[in-house]
Homo-oligomer: A and B are copies of this chain.
Amino acid sequence: METRVSDPSPHILVVDDHRDIRETLARYLIKNGLRASTAENAAHARKALKAASVDLVVLDIMMPGEDGLSLCRHLVETGAMPVILLTAMADDTDRVIGLEIGADDYVTKPFNPRELLARIRAVLRRTSLAPRERDPIEQELLHFDGWSLNVSRRELKDADGTSVALSSGEFQLLCTFLKRPKMVLNRDQLLDLTTGRTPAVFDRSIDNQVSRLRRKIEADPKDPKMIKTVWGGGYMFTADVKDQAE
């Protein structure tokens, strides 16, 4: 009755070009019951976001290469992922820009880890319960091989328009694939991305879910065309995915 599958501890991605900062911070977060990953620049951060399920990003605004701000903008615009910015100084400009772009909070360096932790918790609480603004209802519709998946309605329809019921696990798995087409994902990644769990020793749950999903969406589940098995590597979604507004 204790550890429920539904709430694995939140996963924080720390993006900072200073190694000591990001590692210390990650250790501190983990010690306090969160999960944490690190990335040293925007490019690595993007990869990490694709490969694992992240609940919140702590982002240094001043980084070489792609600017932290542009990554932040991207995150806020696309994924509705909460972002906390780290700014070098208590510079009002940074602050205003950051909050304007849509960052959920910001912390100035040098910061107190405990304060940052408190803000992380506050943002997570807020984003998980705050009433939704009622403006842009974006119908996320994903098309692949005649199928169409309405992500916000959790509805899958075949070429004829008849809807096929998906269980939560199947829906989650399909979403994971559709967001990362033509990309080999191993079982651990899939498990993390779909449920947030860490793999057991001999974990066959992903195999099972893949099998169940294939039975529903493959013409011939024995000879899958969309969800291909990569021997020794995991699975890969091979169909073309087009997202298209309604």
Contacts and interface: CB of A to CB of B under 8 A. Distances in A.
Interface string A67-78: 000000000000
Contacts of A131: 179-180
Nearest to A4: B232
A168 interface: yes
Contacts of A219: none
A234 B6 CA distance: 8
Interface residues of A, number: 55
A90 B126 contact: yes
A152 B134 CA distance: 18
Nearest to A183: B132
Contacts of A185: 129
B6 A238 contact: no
- Mostly, the A contact residues are loop
Contacts of A193: 129
Interface string A126-156: 1011111010010100000000000011110
A6 B154 contact: no
B229 A168 contact: yes
Contacts of A236: 154
Given A126-B89, A231-B168, A180 B238 contact: no
A9 interface: no
Given A90-B126, A108-B130, 11 more contacts: A1-B201, A89-B122, A131-B179, A132-B181, A132-B182, A132-B183, A152-B182, A152-B238, A153-B225, A153-B238, A168-B229
29 contacts: A6-B186, A6-B230, A6-B232, A6-B234, A7-B186, A89-B122, A89-B126, A90-B129, A91-B125, A92-B125, A108-B130, A128-B189, A129-B185, A130-B180, A131-B179, A131-B180, A132-B179, A134-B242, A134-B243, A137-B242, A152-B182, A152-B238, A153-B228, A154-B228, A155-B225, A155-B238, A168-B232, A168-B233, A169-B231
Interface of A: 1, 4-7, 89-92, 108, 122, 125-126, 128-132, 134, 137, 139, 152-155, 165, 167-169, 179-183, 185-186, 189, 193, 201, 223, 225, 228-234, 236, 238-243
